[in-house]
Structure 1
Amino acid sequence: MNIILVGFMGSGKTTIARIISKKHSMKFVDTDKLIEKQQNLTIGEIFDKKGENYFREIEKNFILDYLSFCDNCVIATGGGMPCFFNNMENLKKIGWVVYLKTDFETAKKRAMLSKNRPLFKDEKKAKNLFKRRVICYSKAHFTVDANREKKLTINEIEKMLFGE
């Protein structure tokens, strides 16, 4: 069984995926980190040098060529990954997709703690992106409230998927 976490920046995908994977002896996969390693560029550099369309193609191929072969993995996706092409449908074929739902203010507050969030420099743009992506994320198998303490979010995911 694979668990795939989707959600906006600051929803806790990487942190929660890492904790669940450790706790349940599953492999942790961070799609952005693996793509950076594969391309030998940061996500920002890929966007700057090759453009968003190139990056979205890489993500699509990454799902088909790498993630589809995962077994017993907890996967933290990039925020936009499920929202392009038919990526959400392909992710749903690979495992249980869980949407870590946050409100915009929570996502913004958390994202501001990281210096690597250029999208939040223009709050109006970030808010519009948030609104568009929520529609995509809501197609996940499950939705979990991620506005609260991560322990509670993790407990809910475990209860749904492991019966704990």
Structure 2
Amino acid sequence: MQQFSLKSSVVLMGYAGSGKSTVGRLLAQKLAIRHQDLDTFIEEKQQQSITDLFKNRGEIYFRKIENQLLVELLNAGSPLVISLGGGTPCYGNNAELIANSQHLSFYLQANVPTLVARLSNEKQQRPLLAAVEDLPTYIGQHLFEREHYYRTAKHIVSTTGKTPEEVADEIYRFLT
């Protein structure tokens, strides 16, 4: 494998189920740098699950903490692969922070049928999807609303019809 020095972090954004966490872990291994999933980072810092944070403190509190910890990761001293939560770029000034940073951002784009297939078995673990009855319609509408924010990424990579390994390889080839 080619050796090179990554000067900035890689930020992965996209809708829930687009592969951010899985691709992030694989990419970090290839780059030999640390991966940080923002939701996991929030859970560690807050010492409770995202589901419990939403239930006990509400979404506004969650989004405030999410922004603070995103800033912390973006200002980390060494390059990371950062996997954002699906809503992260859509709240506050998060999309602007990422777009105006020196970091390399990638929108992992997936179509609605792919997202529905990936998310149908995970609804109870995802606070914003738990009560949704018509998942395809919900995701289609929600994705339409969020697409603008995701497109602030410097690069777009389709994940539809690709394995996480293929997506990580594609980003790795771009970086090297």
| TM-score normalised according to structure 1 size | 0.90
2:10/2:80 contact within 8 Å kept: yes
1:2/1:74 contact within 8 Å kept: yes
- AA paired with 2:51? G
SS of the aligned residue for 1:9 comes to: coil
Using the aligned pairs only, state the percent identity: 30
Supply the distance in 1 between the matched residues of 2:88 and 2:148 (Cα, whole angstroms): 13
Residue among 28, 37, 41 paired with 1:30: 37
Q: Who is 1:117 aligned against? A: 126
Structure 1 unaligned residues grouped into runs of 5+: none
Structure 2 unaligned residues grouped into runs of 5+: 1-7
- AA paired with 2:71? L
Residue among 124, 131, 135 paired with 2:144: 131
SS of the aligned residue for 1:10 comes to: coil
Shift of 1:23: 1.6
**Which region of structure 1 is more displaced relative to structure 2, 120-129 or 67-76?**
120-129
Q: Who is 2:16 aligned against? A: 9
- AA paired with 1:117? R
- AA paired with 1:91? I
Does residue 19 (structure 1) correspond to residue 26 (structure 2)? The answer is yes
2:9/2:74 contact within 8 Å kept: no
Does residue 50 (structure 1) correspond to residue 50 (structure 2)? The answer is no
1:44-76 C-alpha deviation (Å, 9 max, x unpaired):
111111111111111111122343225221011
Shift of 1:159: 2.0
1:60-109 C-alpha deviation (Å, 9 max, x unpaired):
11122343225221011111011111101212315101000001110111
User: Relative to structure 1, is the Cα distance of residues 161 and 55 closer, same or farther in structure 2, using a 3 angstrom cutoff?
Assistant: same
Q: Who is 2:85 aligned against? A: 78
Q: Who is 1:102 aligned against? A: 110
By percentage of residues, which structure has more helix? 1
Supply the distance in 1 between the matched residues of 2:163 and 2:47 (Cα, whole angstroms): 34
Supply the distance in 2 between the matched residues of 1:80 and 1:157 (Cα, whole angstroms): 22
Supply the distance in 2 between the matched residues of 1:31 and 1:39 (Cα, whole angstroms): 12
Shift of 1:111: 1.6
- AA paired with 1:53? I
| TM-score normalised according to structure 2 size | 0.85
- AA paired with 1:20? L
2:31/2:172 contact within 8 Å kept: no
- AA paired with 1:28? H
Does residue 149 (structure 1) correspond to residue 163 (structure 2)? The answer is yes
